[in-house]
Amino acid sequence: MSRALALIFLSLSMVLVACPTDGGGGGADDDDDGGACSGAIPAGAEVVDGIVTANTSGGVYWVCSGGNLTVNSGNVEMYVESGGAVTGNGGELDGYVLSGANVTINSGGGELHVEDGANFTGNSSALTVVNCATVDLDDSDAPDPGCP
């Protein structure tokens, strides 16, 4: 009997390792980085400190505190500071979201690295969300002046 229990336990352990589950993301595919994530803001990023709507591909946006970016289509790379806001309504969205940022993705794909403490809602099953304990953004090549 104990040998049968051991085999059942071993089988269940292998299933849990092969098929991990996570706690949510509103339909988005969530991954857990388990620690720090890092990225670099490129020199060609557009600084968003007001209201900007993106309707074309190829945009790179650095969303500052108080900035508001709406993405309706296209391939967009974004770096969202604390206090910045993004609404994604389509397109391919890649980038980083810092603690204190407000981001809602209604549709679209891509991969976002989201720092603990960000107000993030992902309603798109095509979006991959990487949960990060911290996000470190290198702004050494970022536009100057950039976000305050």
Q: Decide: helix, strand or coil at residue 10.
A: helix
Percent of the chain with pLDDT over 90: 61
pTM surpassing 0.95? no
- Tell me: pLDDT of 29 over 80: no
Q: Band the pLDDT of 32: cuts 50, 70, 90.
A: low
Q: Beta-carbon neighbour count of residue 126 at 10 Å?
A: 15
Q: How many Å apart are CA 95 and CA 39, to the nearest integer?
A: 8
Q: Judge whether 48 and 69 are in contact, CB under 8 Å.
A: yes
User: 52 is in which domain, residue-wise?
Assistant: 25-138
Token readout for 61 is: 């946006």
- For tokens 């798109």, the residue is 124
Closest alpha carbon to 129 in 31, 5, 18, 23: 31
- Tell me: pLDDT of 44 over 70: yes
In a domain, 69, yes or no: yes
In a domain, 109, yes or no: yes
Count the domains in the chain: 1
In a domain, 6, yes or no: no
In a domain, 87, yes or no: yes
Which pLDDT value is given to residue 121?
92
pLDDT in tens, 114-126: 999 999 998 888 8
Q: Band the pLDDT of 5: cuts 50, 70, 90.
A: very low
